[in-house]
Amino acid sequence: HAEGKPYKCTECGKGFKGHARLLNHLKTHAREKMFECVECEKTFRRKANLVLHQRVHTGEKPYKCKECEKTF
């Protein structure tokens, strides 16, 4: 909801409640993103975030509930 978020990013249009939050967000556009997903070309600054993201494509569910054995 755009209400209450008057500070807009000129790069992506995302809204923020405060100017400081917008400035912090703008840094994400300025930094070089080094890790790219080979499936969808989404980029990440941290390799760990890329690895987590790749589970979307692989369907990997590495964790198992101790009570019901379901994986997630």
More confident residue, 2 or 12: 12
Residue pLDDT, tens place only, 29-54: 876 667 889 999 888 888 999 999 99
The pLDDT, as a whole number, for residue 68 is 93
Average pLDDT over residues 53-72: 91
Q: Is the pTM of this model over 0.85?
A: no
Total structural domains within the chain: 2
The pLDDT, as a whole number, for residue 34 is 78
| 51 and 68 housed in the same domain | yes
What are phi and psi for residue 40, nearest 5 degrees?
A: -125, 0
| 21 and 41 housed in the same domain | no
| 40 and 57 housed in the same domain | yes
| 42 and 69 housed in the same domain | yes
Give me the CATH number covering residue 19: 3.30.160.60
Query: Could you tell me the pLDDT band of residue 28, with boundaries at 50, 70 and 90?
Result: confident
The DSSP-derived string for 9-55 is: -TTT--EESSHHHHHHHHHHHHSPP-EE-TTT--EESSHHHHHHHHH
